[in-house]
């Protein structure tokens, strides 16, 4: 991830030579390189503009200390602004609810919802010692329900049965009642996804949300969709109050623009990164560490 952005930023550093204060020309030239780097990374335009404005404003006022070259000073500002744009500090998953804490998974088909449901269930079970139940409310695709059953078996959590033809709300309500009876700590509700955003899907997810009152509503999105990820995120955020984002397929994404766009556009924290297909490939999102990775 971010390989291209990182190599571009190395060129930004190279473009700022010499000692002493950063000159206006140096800052403008570096900002141009930075803009190109962000465009190539497929970051949304308003995000780029805002980001560059902030970096420039700070770079103009910066005092260069003895230990830093102007190039290093500029990159440090970029690093700090990247961290801020990515959300500042890590926001852990919130389970502060009367158990069972309900987690609703939302997103387009193929974004990685079911895979992430399994990964999250595994993480909560193994690391947080939670008793987790999962259920699929995807009543349109029997294969999706079966996929979750298999994933649940692989990570060793309970799968609550559901079937095509039932209503998603009825499934989720029954699963919640069951989870209560079992004194489960967490119920994760996987939902149906379509290939594009449509009214019906949005109405359905809103109904599900109202029925199970989740403490976390996580929007799962494929990072390789670049700035489209932010557009989809906004459409979902308009339908349900999202509490966080999971960016998947980071392992196949060399551009890395989605992270910057999604956070900026939705204002919602990125909570996890999907970094592979296997059930242990889920990382907690740390804005500062990702910013450091981008800087290279």
Residues that constitute the known binding site for GTP:
107-114, 190-194, 248-251
Supply the minimum distance, in Å, between the C-beta of residue 145 and ligand GDP.
11
185/133 Cα distance (integer angstroms): 8
Supply the minimum distance, in Å, between the C-beta of residue 285 and ligand GDP.
13
Q: Which position's Cβ is nearest ligand GDP?
A: 274
Our CB check for ligand GDP shows the closer of 35 and 113 to be 113
Supply the minimum distance, in Å, between the C-beta of residue 63 and ligand GDP.
42
284/1 Cα distance (integer angstroms): 15
- Can you read off the two tokens belonging to residue 144? 């999706």
Which residues lie across from 81 on neighbouring strands?
none
Supply the minimum distance, in Å, between the C-beta of residue 21 and ligand GDP.
44
Residues that bind ligand GDP (CB under 6 A): 107, 109-115, 193, 248-249, 251-252, 274-277, 281
Our CB check for ligand GDP shows the closer of 48 and 275 to be 275
156/39 Cα distance (integer angstroms): 43
Phi then psi for residue 140, to 5 deg, are -100, -25
Are 247 and 273 within 8 A, CB to CB?
Answer: yes
Supply the minimum distance, in Å, between the C-beta of residue 252 and ligand GDP.
5
Our CB check for ligand GDP shows the closer of 70 and 274 to be 274
Closest CA to 26 of 68, 56, 65, 67: 56
Our CB check for ligand GDP shows the closer of 50 and 228 to be 228
Closest CA to 226 of 201, 261, 181: 261
Residue ranges of the annotated binding site are 107-114, 190-194, 248-251
Our CB check for ligand GDP shows the closer of 83 and 248 to be 248
Are 192 and 139 within 8 A, CB to CB?
Answer: yes
DSSP collapsed to 3 states, 41-60: CCCCHHHHHHHHHHHHHHHH
């Amino acid at each position: 991830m971010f390989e291209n952005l990182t190599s571009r930023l190395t060129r930004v550093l190279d473009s700022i030579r010499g000692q002493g204060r950063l000159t206006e020309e140096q800052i403008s030239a570096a900002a141009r390189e930075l803009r190109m780097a962000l465009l190539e990374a497929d970051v949304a335009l308003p995000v780029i503009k805002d980001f560059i404005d902030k970096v420039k404003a700070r770079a103009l006022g910066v005092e260069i200390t003895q230990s830093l070259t102007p190039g290093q000073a500029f990159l440090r500002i970029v690093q700090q602004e990247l961290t801020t744009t990515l959300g500042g500090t890590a926001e852990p998953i919130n389970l502060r609810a009367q158990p069972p804490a309900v987690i609703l998974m939302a997103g387009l088909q193929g974004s990685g919802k079911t895979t992430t449901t399994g990964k999250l269930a595994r993480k909560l079970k193994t690391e947080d010692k939670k008793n987790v139940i999962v259920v699929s409310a995807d009543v349109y695709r029997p294969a999706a329900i079966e996929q979750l059953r298999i994933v649940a078996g692989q990570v060793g959590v309970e799968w609550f049965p559901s079937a095509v033809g039932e209503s998603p709300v009825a499934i989720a309500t029954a699963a919640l009642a069951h989870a209560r009876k079992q004194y489960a700590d967490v119920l994760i509700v996987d939902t149906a996804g379509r290939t594009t955003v449509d009214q019906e899907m949005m109405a359905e997810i809103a109904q599900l949300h109202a029925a199970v009152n989740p403490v976390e509503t996580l929007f799962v999105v494929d990072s390789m969709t670049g700035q489209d990820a932010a557009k989809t995120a906004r459409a979902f955020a308009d339908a349900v109050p999202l509490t966080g984002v999971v960016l998947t397929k980071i392992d196949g994404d060399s551009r890395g623009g989605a992270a910057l766009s999604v956070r900026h556009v939705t204002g919602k924290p990125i909570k996890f990164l999907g970094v592979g297909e296997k059930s242990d490939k889920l990382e907690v999102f740390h804005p500062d560490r990702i910013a450091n990775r981008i800087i290279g």
